[in-house]
A and B are shown apart, each in its own frame.
Chain A
Amino acid sequence: MKFLLRRIAFYLVALFVAITVNFFIPRLMPGNVVDSLMAKYPSLKPQAQHALEILLGVGHNGSLVSQYFTYLHQLATGNLGIDPLQFPTPVISIIKAALPWTLVLVGTATVIAWVLGTLLGIFAAWRRGGFLDQILPGLSFLQATPYFFLALVLVWGLSIHFHLFPSQQGFSNGLAIGWNGQFILSALYHAILPALTIVLTSMAGWMLQMRNVMITTIGEDYVLAAQAKGLSSRRVIFSYAARNAILPSLSGFALALGFVVSGTLLMEIVFNYPGIGTQLYTAVTSNDYPLTQAIFLVISVTVLVANIVADVIYVVSDPRARSKGE
């Protein structure tokens, strides 16, 4: 319980930091949305500047403190402003449209990669010097490959060369988004290459981590004792060695998650996938500050939520964390 309380306190502080950093981002940027709008539409007269500022609510009036509280109030009410470049779409609806794509894709692919990698790590450790150990350098190569580069290679090989998979977008043109078979099939088909990219590059990392911890665990006396008792290998591997070796892998999830998210953002851009990464890129390149700011906040909060989930799983699976405050 103490562990959970500590973590909750930590997440509150982390959330506060993320929100505050996000508050300062547009205030440190050169120029503002109105400037970029004025630059985009040269026909606008200078007098329009003030009108636009009022319309978009970006004129930073009042003290920094009162601005901060206005900002907090807007966040609490889910009002992230209106997107100036896709006027008059509210920023929140752009995010609502993009976020599910990223969450489903990254969530599913990360879970697949984690499960596969952890299982492979278990076997690599159990059979030291076996086949899996032999291909370790090859796996290191995959691990060191940037997500976006593997995405480029997959697009070039499987999509442009062999025409097996679509190289762009999240679903076929002309389909309406909805819960019908045709759309879902199309979305799944389009998700194969992006998911493959995530699985291939992140799996090796999980595997190496699991292998290393597992090797240490296998050396423990209780594993030897379990073997001496005559338990089946399967039981020794999963109930004795892996059961304990998996804990650092779970707590290490938080460390790795940032990389998965970052890598995925870049990968989405290669596939022109309709998720958060592509939106962020579009927003940044077009100086769309409100959207940039909102996406950054959404990413920060998503990473925090994923960490909380990992923490809960950790507490559930580690009795020590449950009983005392470690």
Chain B
Amino acid sequence: MWFQILELEAKESRSPVLAVARAAQLKRSFSSQNKKVKVGIILTLVFVAIAIFGPLLAPYDPSAQSAAQGASVAAPSLGHLFGTDQLGRDIFSQVLVGTRTTLILGILTGVIATALSVLVGVTSAYIGGLGDELLSLLSNIFLVFPALPFLIVVLGAFPKSGEITTILLLAFLGWPWGARVIRAQTLSLRNRDFITAARESGESNLRIIIFELLPNEVSLIAASFVGTVLYAIGASVGLDFLGVGNTTIWSLGTILYWAENGNALQLGAWWWFAIPGVIIALIGTGLVLLNFGLDEIGNPRLRDNSSSIKVGGRRVRPSDPTPVEITTPMGRGDLHTQVSNKRSSFGQPVAVMESPKGDIFSAFDFGETGQGSNSSIATLKDGTGSGNSTVGDGITGGHGSERRGA
């Protein structure tokens, strides 16, 4: 889907050569969008699949005890892939069932909290004035409010409270990060020409927000969602580990709670705590890496090094304006561009620019440059070098890393 849109975009470019090069380059960048993000997507999908199908595949009831000889605290074997705990319960089944609980909790919290973030963030930026001040104040107070200790205190007092309570409390405490980022982005978009145009043409505020504003914040909202899921999983796993939640529901944190209570460390039963712990960390890693990709969509400068190009031995970052100097004369016929038959090591055509004297100015390996260099292409188009939106700079920068599980 992405390719089609981008290819369409490329066709609009004035120079057919550049259009071809750009399409190739964009296609390449999205098919090989850096490895980190790919790993993130794969990890996330794997665990979502486990959450959906895992409980159906669980070989045992996760709470089924076995009193048979040698059935308790048994190391991983073919019968029990992840070993057993002190009551002879199958840890593999616990993990399969627990992953679903933990992920559902994370996703539901993410959905509710992100909805709140969007609501508060957009409203705040859109109404401005006193309302904005008050809503920002509210977000900032929630930011410094110690959420986890509060949850420990509250859930500790109501040990029979269900998952729903945890989800609602986590969402209630987890929206301000997203709201801040979305507010900042909305503020910067609010005064853009296309929003003004929509307002001038008499569209209602609600319509402008839903059809003009929000589509431009999708990557930010998605990043905020992923970050909130990460926070919710981290916090809920911590709460379950303490046993202040409901310890009768199998989640990844509950397994760790029983491991700690059953002296897994002293017994040397590494499989009991290491496996669920590593799975939590892997789910988190998947989400962190996924957020890298979302951050990079919003902030082109963060894109992988493969998106920088070599000009005269110096690495040029996607956002660097350097190619302008080389390429500006092209339109006047001083230089001409051709896509040579040469193929780079990546199998992509190489565009070579030559001056009439035959000096080769620069060889752009479009195959390697990746998507990031579309700013240099944009430079050719409009000559301003600002072809790429870097609105999110500083706002999205580091966004993903601010969010950490507890």
Contacts and interface: CB of A to CB of B under 8 A. Distances in A.
Interface in A172-189: none
Interface in B314-350: 315, 317, 319-320
Given A160-B266, A208-B398, A254-B144, A262 B149 contact: yes
B293 to A, nearest CB: 12
A193 B266 CA distance: 17
Contacts of A254: 143-144
A145 B287 CA distance: 12
Nearest to A149: B277
Interface string B255-269: 010001000011010
A14 B140 contact: yes
A280 B154 CA distance: 12
Contact of A212 (B149, B265, B302, B405): B302
Interface stretch (B51-59, B75-83, B230-238): B230-238
B148 A146 contact: no
A149 B282 CA distance: 13
B175 to A, nearest CB: 13
B152 interface: yes
B150 to A, nearest CB: 7
A25 interface: yes
Contacts of A296: 146, 149-150, 153
Contacts of B268: 156, 160-161
A209 B319 contact: no
Among A18, A140, A205, A259, chain B packs the most CB atoms within 10 A around the CB of: A140
B33 interface: no
Interface residues of B, number: 71
Interface string B196-232: 0000000000000000000000000000000000100
A213 B394 contact: yes
Contact of B401 (A17, A146, A209, A263): A209
Interface stretch (A54-62, A297-305, A317-325): A297-305
Given A144-B285, A216-B301, A280 B394 contact: no
Contacts of B145: 14, 17-18, 21, 258, 300
Among A133, A155, A258, chain B packs the most CB atoms within 10 A around the CB of: A258
Contacts of B143: 254-255, 258
A203 B404 CA distance: 11
A269 interface: yes
Given A156-B273, A258-B146, A219 B301 contact: yes
B393 interface: yes
A10 interface: yes
Contact of A281 (B144, B146, B152, B281): B152
A133 B304 CA distance: 9
A303 B145 CA distance: 8
B305 interface: yes
B146 A300 contact: yes
Contacts of A266: 148, 238, 241-242, 406
Interface of B: 35-36, 39, 137, 140-141, 143-150, 152-154, 156-158, 177, 230, 234-235, 237-238, 241-242, 244, 256, 260, 265-266, 268, 270, 273-274, 277, 280-285, 287-289, 292, 295, 299, 301-302, 304-306, 308, 315, 317, 319-320, 390, 393-394, 397-398, 400-402, 404-406
29 contacts: A14-B140, A17-B145, A140-B36, A140-B288, A140-B289, A143-B284, A144-B230, A144-B281, A144-B284, A144-B288, A146-B280, A146-B281, A147-B406, A149-B256, A152-B265, A156-B268, A209-B401, A210-B398, A212-B401, A213-B394, A216-B390, A219-B301, A254-B143, A262-B406, A266-B406, A284-B157, A284-B244, A300-B145, A303-B144
Interface of A: 10, 13-14, 17-18, 21, 25, 29-30, 128-129, 133, 136-137, 140-141, 143-149, 152-153, 155-156, 160-161, 167, 202, 204-206, 208-210, 212-213, 215-216, 218-219, 224, 248-249, 252, 254-256, 258-259, 261-263, 265-266, 269-270, 280-281, 284-285, 287, 292, 295-296, 299-300, 303-304, 307
**Nearest 5 A/B pairs, CB to CB:** A144-B284, A129-B305, A262-B148, A284-B156, A208-B401
